[in-house]
Amino acid sequence: MACATADEIRQWFGLPDAPALEDLTSQLLTVLTQTGNLLQQQGFEDFESLCRQVLKSHEALDSPAAALVRELANRFPAFNDQAVLADGSRVVLVKKATLAVGEIRRLVAPHDRFYDMSDDLERAVAPIDNVIPAMLVYDGVVRLSPALHQKIHLDRAPLARGVQEAELRAVSLTACELIVAAAGHAFSALDIGYYLWRSGKEPGKRQFPRHHTKDTIFY
């Protein structure tokens, strides 16, 4: 990852070489090269070796998923997804770290039960990006303030990183937790996240406005 190029980024993520996607390509390249360099500095051959070390640690005995999310957030800036709300309090969102753990379990655990992480994965939070809040608004679970509705739905203006963006994501995370509780924990917040993200690709819902934050590497 430390030696990735822009052309490789486009190939791996299926991105066309277009001016409109230059910023996204640059962000992805920065994240991957930074993560690769940090892996090398910390003495890991690759991402898998880090994951195996974390999951073999004492901290992971009872809470493997939480241990891996925590280590990803602590070791790599691109995974340390936090924000400050209007009252000065800090919300920990860790979207990429949570999604990474969910994808490791989904894609790798069927072939290697070492990555099952079933002891505590049901306690993972929803991986909140810009699709999940939009789907919660679409379904009537979350209601936007008049000012935020104007910006996202009418003006279609970018929503910069800051209090409004943080609060929208934090409210969406809380909404997913409330849905899980109301359903008697029949599924997890991570499951809700996957469901809402997939539903955002459906015809009709795909065109529903969602906030657009250019200056973020977290989603």
Task: At 168, list the tokens.
Answer: 């929208």
Q: What is the pLDDT of residue 184?
A: 96
113 in any annotated domain: yes
Mean pLDDT, range 54-72, rounded to an integer: 96
Query: Rounded distance, CA 1 to CA 100, Å?
Result: 16
Q: What is the pLDDT of residue 65?
A: 96
Residue 2 in this model has a pLDDT that exceeds 80: no
User: Is 207 part of a structural domain of the chain?
Assistant: no
Number of domains in the chain: 2
Domain annotation covers residue 211: no
Same domain, 39 and 97: no
Query: Is there a contact between 97 and 69 (Cβ–Cβ < 8 Å)?
Result: yes
Burial of 52 from C-beta contacts in 10 A (0-12 / 13-18 / 19+): middle
pLDDT digits (tens, 9 = 90+) for 143-191: 999 999 999 999 999 999 999 999 999 999 999 999 999 999 999 999 9
* Token duo for residue 129: 């990006």
Residue 136, in any domain of the structure: yes
* DSSP structure class, residue 198: H
| Distance, CA of 16 to CA of 22 (rounded, Å) | 10
Same domain, 84 and 60: yes
Say yes or no: 94 and 151 in one domain.
yes
Q: What residues are paired with 91 via a beta bridge?
A: 83
pLDDT at 198: 96
Q: For 19-33, 87-101, 127-141, 172-186, which range has the lowest pLDDT when averaged over its residues?
A: 19-33
- If asked whether residues 58 and 38 sit together in one domain, one would say no
22-48 mean pLDDT: 91
Say what the pLDDT of residue 4 is. Answer: 83
Residue 208 lies in a domain: no
d(CA 88, CA 8): 40
Domain shared by 87 and 185, yes or no: yes
Q: Do 75 and 5 fall within a single domain?
A: no
pLDDT-derived band at 214, boundaries 50, 70, 90: confident
Query: 89 exposed, middle or buried (CB, 10 Å; 0-12, 13-18, 19+)?
Result: exposed
Same domain flag for 52 and 130: yes
Q: Select from 103, 126, 101 the least CA-distant residue to 179.
A: 126
**24 & 109 share domain:** no
Q: C-alpha angle with apex 20: 17 to 21, nearest 5 degrees?
A: 55
pTM of the model: 0.88
Per-residue DSSP letter, 123: G
**Whether 6 and 87 share a structural domain:** no
Question: Do 68 and 3 have their domain in common?
Answer: no
Is residue 217 in a domain? no
Range of the domain at 71: 44-199
- The C-alpha atoms of residue 164 and residue 170 are separated, in whole angstroms, by 10
Q: Which pLDDT belongs to residue 56?
A: 97
Regarding whether 24 and 55 lie in a shared domain, the answer is no
Residues 54, 26: one domain? no
Using only C-alpha atoms, the chain has a radius of gyration, in whole angstroms, of 18
Residue 22 forms part of a structural domain:
yes
Give domain status of residue 216, yes or no. Answer: no
